[in-house]
Structures are given as structure tokens and as C-alpha cells.
Chains A and B, each alone.
Chain A
Amino acid sequence: MSQLVIKNLEVAVKDKKILRGVTLTVNEGETLALLGPNGHGKSTLLAAIMGNPAFQVTGGGIQLDGQDLLKMTPDLRSKAGIFLAMQYPSEIPGLNSADFLKSAMNAHRQKPMSLFEFYNALQNAYKDMGIPFEMSKRNLNEGFSGGEKKRNEILQMRLLQPKIAMLDEIDSGLDVDAMQIVAEAIEKEQKRGAGFLIISHYARLYNMVHPTKAAVLINGRIAVEGGPEIISRIDADGYEWIKDELGIEIEKEEGGPMNTLSIGSCATKERLNNGKK
């Protein structure tokens, strides 16, 4: 059984400490909803697990099925079975999407695929994701709309079949139809047995993919961990109750315009805005 284990993980960006000891486990078949106010380390955690060199791991460990991920470069982590759908996928000038996908898929195999096998897989994946096959001839993410980029991330997840897939705000920029397609793709991977670590600010995606557990990241630590009921509580009440019940003072994001009610929770912000109207 596949298992991603994060132990006391400490991560810094340019000497600024972001994660201050995160401990989490994601098992095969589990879907973990990762919640928390903006600027408290959710994306940092995912980037560090994937091995983004902009983030320095200063303490703790990450293991996948007993292998030490911290000793591996990002490409080896990918081959070990980790996938990250990025919040802002890079646009790569001049790199044809199909060429890229072929390189990525072949990297995950002992022997390169036949052209026939590759195009079959590619056509099916594009069809499943509701993306015109013509898009495979375009340069990778170049000039793609926000929604197209996000679907393209999920397309890559489908083709690479990871053991643990991490999705960083995959639902931002998606319309309702695209959200449905993405949720269905996630469901297929869940049935295959993949584990998920999902960051989202909206309950809608979570309602569609049924997380098995939830964790709330505050001040670079996991403040609360439990069942999916935490998601609906935060969706309804924001993060204030954590402060009241657990006595955790929520640090404000530096430089951001903040008031005590809208600490980075989009759901709360939306309700505030609606209330004003």
C-alpha cells in the first residue's frame, strides 16, 4: 500500500521560515483536504514535497513508501509516483505539448512507448478532459486560458497515473462544466487507488470529490486534523473558531490588506462581499 509520510517538516523560502514542523500522512485511496488561510504554507508544503528548489527544507523528512524523497530530484520524485498540479503552470515557449507529454510519459517507463500507443493514450486523455485534440499541437500552456491550463494539469495527471496526486487550487479559473470534468477525472484516479492532497478555497470541489479527511494549516503547523466535517465548518464559519476553541492566534499575512474577519478565507470574503451588496 502506498503511503506518503511527512514528519516535522520545516521549510524556508529565502531564509524566511514558512513551515514550522508539519506532520501528515496520506495513504493510498485517501483524499486529504488541506485548508488554511492564505500565506500560512499550504502551497509551500506541496512545492516542498515535489522538490521545488526555491524552497529549502531545513528540518524533518518526507517519505514515499519508505523512500526518502528529500534525497531525490523532482524528476525522480515524479517517477516514484508523486504528482503536483500547479497553481500557476509555466508557459514554455516553443515546446510542443505533444512532444512534452511524450517525454514525460516515456520518462515513467522502462521502454519508450510506440507512437501508436502514445497517440491512442493521448487522444483518449484529451477526449476525457474535454480538450480539443488540436491543443496538443500548441506550445505547452502558451496562450492557454486559466481554465485550459488547469485542465491541462489534470490531463497530465491522467497520463502519468501517480500514486499520490497533489492539487494546488485546481478549481480556480474553472467554470461549472470544467469543474465537473476535473472532478470526474479525480474520481477515476481515486478508484484506481491514488491518494490525493487537495488545496482549495471552495467547498464546491470538495463536495464533488469527497475527501476522507481534512487538515488545517495555520502559522506553518497543522492546527486541526480530522474528518471531512471540518470543511463544512470552515466553509460556514471561516477560521475564527479555531482561535476561540484552540487558542491559536492566527498570524496575519505580511503586507496583505487584512481585517480580522477575512483572514485569507475566500469563502468568508465572499460572504462578506455578498453581505455588503
Chain B
Amino acid sequence: MDDIPTSLTYTVNEGENVHLNIVSFKDFSDRTIDIKVLSNGSFEGAFADFSRGNGRFILNIHLIGEGAKCHWSLASLNNGSSEKHFDTSVFHEVPHTEALMSNYGIARDNGRLFFAGVSEIRQGSHKTKTRQESKIIVFDPKAFGRASPILRIGENDVEASHAAVVGRLNSAHLFYLESRGISEEEAKRLITLGYLRPIENFFVDASVIERIEKAIEGGI
């Protein structure tokens, strides 16, 4: 993430397909990224975050051409006493646009994790599809998580949905694994792995995937 300027603006041109892969292993700090997607352009962003520190990551995606699409995925592991905010928003400014924004996080120790963001369908943007998913697992008594996605819909004829879940580890899942001889500690590790690992699917560079794998294994 250190390679990214604190403020970045990028335009995905007509018909273009752009992938943005972000990893952060060390220090978390404020960043703002603005993306514009033109007609039939596609933006696929993924952020694997294992850093420590405080800050706010802001992502605004503007779908400004018909047929524009975006898919955002975040996996964030929050250890220590970090406080991290992720505001990931998408603005459907024209008809026939699609967005999937998904944020997954784990809050441990004294970590505080906040997922927010707006999915906005502007007036006149009919036949658009948008979905926001935010999920945080709170591991420790002093850790904290809040997910507050917002849908703002100014047009009829659209598909919009959101899901926000903040909770502790599912006790039925833990019992299932433990009943097979797996210790509580190992069961928690397996569930967490399963939660963070899917982010690897969005990364291209094999050496980066390996570093993410190590960060997941080492962090939990």
C-alpha cells in the first residue's frame, strides 16, 4: 500500500478491464482512491490488509458510463490496538450499471474495525444492480467491530441489497469441528483461515499470494 499515493484518481476507459490489487503488511494510514468507470468498462479491486495502525481508507467508485461494472473485495485482519475505517462507496450515475462491494474483517485484541460506505443509485439509473456485503468477526472481549453499509436508491426498476453482520465466532461451527477431535484453538484458526483466504482468489501475482498466505497464517 505504501506504493499508492495518499490520494489517487484513476479512470477506467471505455471497454477496458482494470484490476487493482492492494496489499498492506506494515503500517496502516489514510488513503483516498477515486475511480471512474466509463461505458462497458470493468473495475476489479481487491485489498488484503494485515497492517497495524490507525486510519481511514476511502474508496469511491463512480460508474459513469452505461454497462460499467465494479467488484470490490476487502479482507482485513485487525490485531493489536489498531483502529481502522474503511469507507467503500459506489455511485451508479447512469443506467445499466452493476456493483458488488464486499468487505470481510476480523477484529482481535483491542482492535477496532469500522466498515461503512454508500451504494447510491442516482435518479434515472434504471436497470442497475448493486450489492454491499460487510461482515466482521469479533474475536476478543475488548475488540470492536461495526458495519454500517447504506443504500441510497433514487430510481425504481433496480436491484439493490445489502448485508451487514458483526458477531462472534459461530458456536455451532466450533462445536462441529471440535467434535472431530480438533482443538478449540485449531478450530478457531481454521474458521478464520476460511474467512480470510478467499481474498487470494482475486490476486494475480503468485509471490504476493504467498505473502498473503503467510500473513494469514502468522496473524491468526
Residues of A within 8 A of B (CB): 50-54, 73-75, 77-79, 83-84, 86, 89-90, 92-96, 99-100, 103-104, 107-108, 139, 156, 160
Contacts and interface: CB of A to CB of B under 8 A. Distances in A.
Chain A contact residues, majority secondary structure: mixed
Contacts of B191: 92, 95
Contact of B181 (A52, A54, A92, A107): A107
Given A94-B193, A95-B193, A75 B183 contact: yes
B175 A52 contact: yes
B178 interface: yes
B178 A73 contact: yes
A139 to B, nearest CB: 7
Interface residues of B, number: 24
B182 interface: yes
A73 B184 CA distance: 9
Interface stretch (B13-21, B125-133, B194-202): B194-202
A94 B197 contact: yes
B171 interface: yes
A162 to B, nearest CB: 10
Contacts of B177: 92, 100, 103-104
B84 to A, nearest CB: 21
B176 A78 contact: no
A224 to B, nearest CB: 29
Contact of B180 (A54, A99, A107): A107
5 contacts: A75-B184, A78-B181, A96-B194, A103-B177, A103-B182
Contacts of B173: 90, 92
Nearest to A76: B181
Given A90-B176, A139-B194, A53 B171 contact: yes
Contacts of A78: 178-181
Q: Ordered nearest first, which 10 A-B pairs have the shortest CB separation?
A: A94-B194, A107-B181, A95-B194, A78-B181, A104-B180, A90-B176, A74-B178, A75-B178, A74-B179, A79-B181
B197 A86 contact: no
